[in-house]
Structure 1
Amino acid sequence: MTEWLPFELHCHTFHSDGKMSLEELALAAKALGLRGVALTDHNTMTGLAGREEVTRKTGIEIIPGLEWTTFFGHMLTMGIRDYVDWRNLSPFHIHRGIEAVHRQGGLVGVAHPFRVGSPMCTGCFWEFEVTDWNEVDYVEVWSGLFPSIRKNNARAFGMWTDLLNKGHRIAATSGRDWHVSDPVSEPVCATFLGIDGCAGGLVPAALDALRRGAVIVSMGPLPTLAVTSPEGQVAGVGDELRLQTGSRSARVAAGADFSAREGQWELPEQKLTLRIVSNAGTLGEFAVTRSEPSASGDISLDGVRWLRAELYGTFCGAHTMIGFTNAIYVRDLHGGSELT
Structure 2
Amino acid sequence: MKQWLPYELHTHTFHSDGQHSLLELARSAKELGLFGIAMTDHNTMSPLLEREQIQSETQLQIIRGMEWTTFFGHMLAIGITAYVDWRDLGIQDIHKGIERVHRQGGIVGIAHPYRVGSPLCTGCYWEYEIADWDDIDYIEVWSYTFPSIMNSNQRAFQLWTDRLNKGHRIAAVCGRDWHVSSVKVTEPIAVTYLGLDNNRDSALDPTEVEKLAVNAIREGSVSVTMGPRLQCTLQIDPSESVHGIGSVVKVNETVNTAVVKVEIDFSERAEHWQLDDQELKVRLVSNKGTVGELKVSQQASTASCGVDIEGVIWLRAELHGAFHNSITMIAFTNPFYFQHDN
1:315 pairs with 315, 323, 342, which one?
323
> 2:29 and 2:153 mapped to 1: Cα distance?
23
Matched, 1:193 2:194: yes
Structure 1 counterpart of 2:110: 110
Q: Give the total of aligned pairs.
A: 334
Matched, 1:254 2:262: yes
> 1:296 and 1:232 mapped to 2: Cα distance?
17
Matched, 1:18 2:33: no
Residues 106 and 96 of structure 1: CA distance in aligned 2, closer, same or farther (over 3 Å): same
Structure 1 counterpart of 2:59: 59
Structure 2 counterpart of 1:327: 335
For 1:271-313, what per-residue CA distance to the aligned partner results, in whole angstroms no more than 9, with x for missing partners?
A: 1111000001111111111111010111110110000000001
2:295 pairs with 287, 290, 295, which one?
287
For 1:308-333, what per-residue CA distance to the aligned partner results, in whole angstroms no more than 9, with x for missing partners?
A: 00000111111100010001001113
> 1:22 and 1:173 mapped to 2: Cα distance?
22
Is the contact between residue 36 and residue 60 of structure 1 (CA under 8 Å) also seen in structure 2?
A: yes
> What SS does the aligned partner of 1:50 have?
helix
1:234 pairs with 234, 242, 251, which one?
242
Letter paired with 1:311: L
> 1:246 and 1:2 mapped to 2: Cα distance?
30
Letter paired with 2:212: A
Structure 1 counterpart of 2:210: 203
Structure 2 counterpart of 1:338: none
Matched, 1:216 2:223: yes
> 2:168 and 2:268 mapped to 1: Cα distance?
29
After TM superposition, the score normalised by the length of structure 2 is 0.96
For 1:203-237, what per-residue CA distance to the aligned partner results, in whole angstroms no more than 9, with x for missing partners?
A: 11111101111011000011111110136232110
> What SS does the aligned partner of 2:90 have?
coil
> What SS does the aligned partner of 1:227 have?
strand
Structure 2 counterpart of 1:183: 184
Letter paired with 1:252: V
Structure 2 unaligned spans of 5+:
none
> 2:235 and 2:290 mapped to 1: Cα distance?
18
Is the contact between residue 255 and residue 274 of structure 1 (CA under 8 Å) also seen in structure 2?
A: no
> 1:42 and 1:90 mapped to 2: Cα distance?
18
> 1:113 and 1:228 mapped to 2: Cα distance?
34
> What SS does the aligned partner of 1:311 have?
strand
Give matches, 1:267-286, under 5 Å. Answer: 267-286=275-294
Offset of residue 193 of structure 1 = 0.3
For 1:223-256, what per-residue CA distance to the aligned partner results, in whole angstroms no more than 9, with x for missing partners?
A: 1111101362321100011113521011111121
Matched, 1:263 2:306: no
Structure 1 unaligned spans of 5+:
336-340
Comparing 112-121 with 221-230, greater Cα deviation is found at 221-230
> 2:185 and 2:255 mapped to 1: Cα distance?
50
> 2:167 and 2:104 mapped to 1: Cα distance?
26
Is the contact between residue 272 and residue 311 of structure 1 (CA under 8 Å) also seen in structure 2?
A: yes
> 1:195 and 1:84 mapped to 2: Cα distance?
26
> 1:97 and 1:180 mapped to 2: Cα distance?
29
Matched, 1:135 2:135: yes
After TM superposition, the score normalised by the length of structure 1 is 0.97
> 2:212 and 2:170 mapped to 1: Cα distance?
18
> What SS does the aligned partner of 2:6 have?
strand
Letter paired with 2:231: T
For 1:97-130, what per-residue CA distance to the aligned partner results, in whole angstroms no more than 9, with x for missing partners?
A: 0000000000000000000000000000000000
Letter paired with 2:187: E
> 1:43 and 1:244 mapped to 2: Cα distance?
47
Q: Which runs of 4+ in 1 moved over 6 A?
A: none
Structure 2 counterpart of 1:119: 119
Matched, 1:145 2:152: no
Is the contact between residue 234 and residue 241 of structure 1 (CA under 8 Å) also seen in structure 2?
A: no
**Seq. identity, %:** 53
Is the contact between residue 271 and residue 288 of structure 1 (CA under 8 Å) also seen in structure 2?
A: yes
> 1:241 and 1:299 mapped to 2: Cα distance?
14
> 1:264 and 1:33 mapped to 2: Cα distance?
8
Offset of residue 177 of structure 1 = 0.2
Offset of residue 12 of structure 1 = 0.1
> 1:96 and 1:274 mapped to 2: Cα distance?
40
Is the contact between residue 226 and residue 237 of structure 1 (CA under 8 Å) also seen in structure 2?
A: yes
Letter paired with 2:117: G
Is the contact between residue 9 and residue 191 of structure 1 (CA under 8 Å) also seen in structure 2?
A: yes
For 1:26-76, what per-residue CA distance to the aligned partner results, in whole angstroms no more than 9, with x for missing partners?
A: 000001110000010000000111101101111100100000000000000
Is the contact between residue 238 and residue 326 of structure 1 (CA under 8 Å) also seen in structure 2?
A: yes
